[in-house]
Structure 1
Amino acid sequence: MLWNREEKYTEIPYERESELEDAVNEVKDALFGSTRIYLDDKKKIGQKGGTNNLPDGYLIDLTNKQDPKIFVVENDLASHQHLKHIAVQILEFSLAFETSKVKVKNIIKEMLQKRADKWRKCESFAQKNGYENVDYLLESIIHKKDSFNALLIIDELGEELETVLISRFKFPVEVTTLKRYKSDSGKMLYEFEPFLNEVAEDTEKVDISDIDTIVIPAREDGFKEVFIDKNCWYAIRLNSSMIPKIKYIAAYQVAPVSAITHIAEVKSIEQWNDTNKYILHFTEPAEKIRKVPLGTRKGKAPQSPRYSSRDKIIHAKSLEDVF
């Protein structure tokens, strides 16, 4: 229940997938932000006689000027679908996508052409970032290596499903939960975290295209026993679509040190012990750097993994320069 002095809001579970789809469309601007375009036309992809699927939509992500992406979107209800079904559905999307890239591009282009404002947004992005036109922009996104990305929007995410999505796929799968609540007077509230919100918070001081480092908070015992002695760091939650960008890991030692003190090059990122978290192995022992102290704004101290760039950290005077 959500409550204030005026009204109480009770959770209203979705009975049908179409209700979740309506909710996504209701909150899409706040959910995805101004640099992403959500297209919800349902068009079958895949080759005739091969794997065919009907995605619930596509998300064009223009946040990273150097690496725009397209996510194939699946809306599902946890109560109606077994996790095996969801995993198989996403796998089939990837197979259909890879075998029909020309068809996917044409489908997305047709959707954009029916939405003049969305077309203009893509056209503006293309002009500003060296693409001849929208057609070439879509071509470049879809035909590049490892171009498939999936987005699962679900009403409730269990740890088991999240673990399966990490362990079964080599391509990025982002997951967003969306719940709805209704007051006695009929007003609706929606509960969600904006898409890749953790990344958005860290791009105030560093462009998303420059991100190459994950900054982790470390207590004294864990820092020495793991980060220094074992040349790794584990049990980290990461956005799957950000993993290819991570080249370094930096350690922020919590109070009384209260500073970033070491940085290491990342050799590999793997699932951690059949969980929904990851372990990062270092190429070599961490390098001690000039301390980057907390500074005057105590709210900048990382409480969980944060994204930044090695160059930004090396030249920072305080955490206020990092993120």
Structure 2
Amino acid sequence: MVDYLKALLLSESKQLHVDDSEILYVIDTNYLLYSIQTSVREHYYIEALNKHISHLYIPFSVYIEFLNDYRKIISETEKFLSTSSKMIKSLNELNQLEFNKDWLTELLTTQLTEQMKTSPSNGGISRNSFNTYSQHKSYDKDVFPKIQKILEQISETLSVSLSNLNTDFQNEIENIELSTTDFDVTLYQSKMQEHLNALSNIFNHEGVLGKEYSQEKIDNWEQTISERVTDQSLPGYKDNGKDNQESPYRIFGSLKLRKSYGDALLWMELMDFVKNKGIEQVVFVSDDNKSDWVNPETKTMKQELVVDFLQKTGAYVKKISSETFISSSTSISDSDRQLIKIETENVNDDSNNLVSDSEPDCIIVPARTYGFENVFMDKNEWYSIKISNSRLKHLKYIAVYRTHPYSEITHFAKIKKIVPSDEDPTKKRIIFDGNPQPLEQTIPLGVNLSAMQSSRYTHFKKLFEAKNVDELFSEF
């Protein structure tokens, strides 16, 4: 009799129940891509893989994704390191900063202005109201001079304190020990070549890499996936947004794979490989924490997947993080272990977005009922809106936030083109490429109830991951 309870308990346990020699370690794409985002801890990733080389399996779908994405990740990492190095070096220039009366007056003026432009619920006035108020003829002649005089008096009174602050600040700057070693682009480039060679050796080790697909095999699997993913019985249904990208397919030589089926293909391939092999336990090393893979509360593999895997293969399966795999396989220091944990937790598992594009590609606009129904839905466009020219080339999607009484983001559309507005040439009109589509899960407001008082920008992928509006803008 199949012991499903044992399978579930093992999947939730932090311990492995069998000898290491009886375990098959399966590596996900994110593990491989994380390993090329550092020139300081990359050797731990390789060391952990080599320790289990005789019991290691890298699905061919993972291999394809890695080959598709690794150059982009390296390029983005180089940009990150270069920028970080410049920021650290710029600390030296802080010694030119002087805290004086003019500096404090300007600071107080800016702070007062921003404080006034908070939402009415916070005791301020709206930005539009403030702009109208500040344009009143008495503002520059009467109100502002009085306010400025008070702020200047405060700054004058604090001048002695500012002088002491300058002395303390300069002393602190002189005591800073700057090191940019961790952000050395040249060092990263040289170590990456060695690292890629090490990965290549692992890929070519006998039995590690999954068998190359045929298009017939892909088509057969995708037929099964299309039937099962609709009832959410396979991992990957959270990736349905990938079908709305510029190209829904990943091309690998003569092979054509649907991007949104990447996780499901991995799952199908893994079960196909494990069955009839006599493998007792499979440990899936992945930092994919979307709800189509794991229980949100426990971060352990979904019960449905554990049961499905046991039924199809006769083997137990559990999921562990990259940090857990590395910690149990190497002599990593506590500080480096914590850094790996932070790095892998703060980056989304989607391999195409491990290093996010610096500019968001989706604009979210607030709409009342009339605008939503008669413009966004009926005309497949959005009218006069301010968008800086620097953003135009990055925007590919638009989403709509329906105001009270709905208070949630409900639909999105692909952008066909952005043109000058007929009503106001300083603003833009967004033309959609096709009809707006409803989100499978609408996105309600979070803690910040004033988050959507005006249009905002995010990454399109987040529309399919965020639980509330706050999560859409967590990195901006």
Give the structure-1-normalised TM-score: 0.38
Structure with more strand by fraction: 1
Structure number, greater radius of gyration: 2
Structure with more helix by fraction: 2
Give the structure-2-normalised TM-score: 0.27
